[in-house]
């Protein structure tokens, strides 16, 4: 049975509901319950870890028996495991739901399999409705499921001859206003923004995401890596989120801890030393290189040692897009060995 027009509308609504939920260790999921005639009976979404999943949230708004013969439209395959809450597939079966339409398969080895459980119970199941939109909504969570860590974007700005600053260390501004506005839009799409203590001490960045002088509604959590102390009056300490500090050079330990905190996407723009360290550690899923038509010369390279002793060991990239931004050019790329990295993550 093909997806009906009422079910398509319900999926669009379920995606809107899903976006109201918090980004974190659990995916954002929305659900709409339809009567056999296609009328909306109830809506729900996942409000965060430990709260009812979207399907159960929607079912909780109905009287017992009201969902019998109904259709559940959900943005992610109903789960099939017991964690802090019970399996949603079983909740739908027990409620008497006759049909389930969902967008994306659950990739979890433990949580997946809900569709099969539903079918075995006699529920008609359709998958793939508006899958692209659902993927775009939770792409960070999907990457975290696949990699076991956040999706990591490494960004830098450089002159045409590959310098991040003039020889005296001054770097504001290599790129123009269009490129800087693009950076802020991408910051706003990330869960965390990462710099080193060297950048904090040299530039005193606020690490906020701004649209002109106005803060974007979503702000990335500021993360500072390094052993040198951050001054009490540093701008980063006035960020809307409390900064997270790591006194370590173990980047894998850092991203593991961020993952445990529910961070799904990381935006690294901490200067040449930190950017090079992430690339050398094979922790760059996407590269954003903003190139300005200016020559600086000197020693201040945009990247330093990334562990490439010869041309045979070069880090090869696949270009996803060349994006003109005023007089500047943005190269959006991913490591050539990570064939699907460009399809996932929030850069």
Q: What is the pLDDT of residues 135-170, one digit of tens each?
A: 988 887 888 888 889 989 999 999 999 888 877 777
**Is residue 55 flagged as an active site residue?**
yes
Q: Which residue has the tokens 């290189």?
A: 289
343 pLDDT more than 60: no
Residue 265 neighbours by CB distance under 10 Å: 27
Interatomic CA distance for residues 12 and 129, integer angstroms: 10
Domain with CATH 3.40.430.10 in the chain: 145-343
Looking at CATH, the fold of the domain delimited by 145-343 is given as Dihydrofolate Reductase, subunit A (3.40.430)
Q: Are 258 and 243 in contact (CB under 8 A)?
A: no
Is residue 338's pLDDT more than 80?
A: no
Distance CA 2, CA 52 (A): 29
| Region(s) of the chain under CATH 3.40.140.10 | 5-137
Q: Considering the domain delimited by 5-137, tell me its CATH architecture.
A: 3-Layer(aba) Sandwich (3.40)
Q: Which of 43, 55, 77, 129 is catalytic?
A: 55
The tens digit of pLDDT for each residue in 22-35 reads 876 788 999 999 99
- Report the C-alpha gap between 29 and 51 in whole angstroms: 12
pLDDT at 250 over 90: yes
Q: Name which of 12-21, 185-194, 289-298, 332-341 the model is least confident about.
A: 332-341
Which pLDDT score, from 0 to 100, does residue 342 have? Answer: 40
C-alpha span between 320 and 91 (Å, rounded): 42
Task: Sheet containing 99-104: give its strands across.
Answer: 40-45, 30-34, 71-76, 99-104, 124-127
């Amino acid at each position: 049975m093909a997806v009906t027009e009422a079910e398509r509308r319900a999926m669009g609504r379920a995606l809107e509901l899903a976006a109201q939920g918090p980004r974190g260790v659990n995916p954002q999921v929305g659900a709409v319950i339809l009567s056999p005639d296609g009328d909306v009976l109830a809506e729900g979404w996942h409000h965060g870890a430990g709260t009812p999943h979207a399907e159960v949230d929607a079912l909780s708004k109905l009287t017992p028996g009201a969902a019998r013969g109904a259709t559940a439209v959900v943005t992610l395959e109903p789960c099939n495991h017991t964690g802090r809450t019970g399996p949603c597939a079983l909740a739908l079966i027990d409620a008497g739901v006759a049909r389930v339409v969902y967008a994306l398969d659950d990739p979890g080895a433990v949580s997946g399999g809900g569709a099969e459980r539903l079918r075995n119970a006699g529920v008609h199941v359709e998958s793939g409705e508006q899958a692209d939109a659902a993927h775009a909504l939770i792409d960070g969570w999907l990457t975290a499921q696949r990699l076991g860590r956040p999706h990591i974007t490494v960004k830098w700005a450089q002159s045409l001859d590959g310098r991040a600053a003039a020889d005296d260390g001054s770097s504001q501004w290599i790129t123009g206003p269009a490129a800087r506005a693009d950076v802020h839009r991408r910051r706003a799409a990330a869960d965390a923004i990462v710099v080193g203590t060297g950048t904090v001490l040299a530039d005193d960045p606020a690490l906020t995401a701004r649209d002109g002088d106005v803060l974007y509604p979503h702000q990335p959590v500021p993360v500072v890596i390094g052993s040198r102390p951050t001054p009490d009056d540093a701008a980063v300490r006035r960020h809307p989120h409390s900064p997270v500090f790591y006194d370590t050079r173990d980047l894998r330990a850092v991203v593991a801890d961020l993952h445990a905190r529910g961070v799904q996407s990381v935006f690294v723009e901490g200067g040449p030393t930190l950017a090079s360290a992430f690339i050398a550690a094979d922790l760059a899923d996407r590269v954003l290189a903003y190139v300005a038509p200016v020559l600086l010369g000197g020693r201040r390279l945009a990247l330093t040692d990334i562990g490439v002793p010869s041309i045979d060991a070069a880090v090869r990239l696949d270009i996803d897009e060349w994006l003109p931004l005023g007089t500047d050019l943005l190269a959006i790329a991913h490591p050539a060995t990570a064939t699907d990295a460009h399809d996932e993550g929030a850069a």
